[in-house]
Amino acid sequence: MGRRLQIAIIVAIVALLGAAVAAYAYDSSREDEIGEGVEIAGVDVGGLQAHEARDLVRAEVIEPLRKPVTVKFEDVKYQLSPEKLQVAADINGMVDRAVDASREGGLPGRLWRYATGGEVSEEIEPRITYSEEAMNEFIAKVEGEVNREPVDASIEASATSLSPVQSQDGISVVTDDLRAQLEEAVQDPLARTVKAPVERVEPEVSTDELAEQYPVYLTVDRSSFQLHFYENLKLAKTYTVAIGAVGFDTPAGLYHIQNKAVDPAWSVPEADWAGDLAGTVVPGGVPENPLKERWLGIYDGAGIHGTDDVGSLGSAASHGCVRMAIPDVIELYDQVPVGTPIYIA
């Protein structure tokens, strides 16, 4: 009985050793095989040999990544070519990681998985590289094309009317969000197009705020010798004025009231028409000073002032200034602050 037991033990040991050798040999034969449930960048490589997985990843992941990355904004597309982006992928590294994940758990764990058809359930992240410089240049290009400064509401003036010009929102690319989306798109073969993330930029002056922005506005119609006074963009009063005579034209265009004065002094220009007063300064309030009572400076010596020559009103009679009746200029003076726009047509 003792000898039979020994033989039985030896047989059992040999059988175990044989089974262990067979198990090791079987496991070794699958050392290059990727376990079921393993994915690389979303591609199922379970059950494949390493070289098969490399071919599949190259076809399913890398080749699609060689397509352009596209940013869409409204109806415009901006593309970054794979050549400029210099996309590259560590295929061997990804497959090696998949194989290593399949070998985890030790020999008993792998044998149990082989026997039961178990899975590894491992997701290998893609290892994609690209040119940061090319990405930065592309983002800057998109920003340059898409970004738009807001436009304040404004007034388009004519001789007889004020027309509001609508404000426009600006557009600004949200750079950090765009970069994050592009970085994802570079590594995603199924999402190579992203929509440019933008935010609206409000103007400083909206259309609804125009009246507040322009509480007072003046226009001068030289053809009809009229000055129009607007409050809150509505015509409040019209005055008859005189304008510059031929050769002394009142300057046309958009200006602003630069300065104001009560009983202004008159700096007489060096001109033949000024006679003995040329180059002198005539104090305000004296008979020789034609700038009566009030002065609202416009541009380069031209301005609005009162006159006692009421017969000149309604004609081209001045040396470039806008003349008004004295009561009218006093009334206007008190309502028009420095900076008020004046459009002369």
Three-state SS at 202:
coil
Beta strands (DSSP E) in 125-263 are 128-129, 154-157, 162-165, 170-173, 193-195, 198-201, 216-221, 226-231, 234-240, 243-244, 253-256, 259-262
CATH number of the domain that residue 278 is part of: 2.40.440.10
Domain that holds residue 232: 214-344
* Separation CA 214–CA 112 (nearest Å): 84
Residue 294 falls inside a structural domain: yes
CB-CB contact of 282 with 288 (8 Å): yes
Residue 167 falls inside a structural domain: no
**Token pair 């992928």 in the structure block, residue:** 89
> Which residue ranges in the chain fall short of pLDDT 50?
23
Residue 208 falls inside a structural domain: no
- Burial (0-12, 13-18, 19+ Cβ within 10 Å), 53: buried
Residue 90 falls inside a structural domain: no
Which residues does residue 49 pair with via DSSP β-bridges, in sequence order? Answer: 33
The count of domains in the chain is 1
Residue 39 falls inside a structural domain: no
Residue 265 falls inside a structural domain: yes
Residue 244 falls inside a structural domain: yes
- DSSP 8-state assignment for residue 61: I
The pLDDT score that the predictor gives to residue 186 is 86
Residue 181 falls inside a structural domain: no
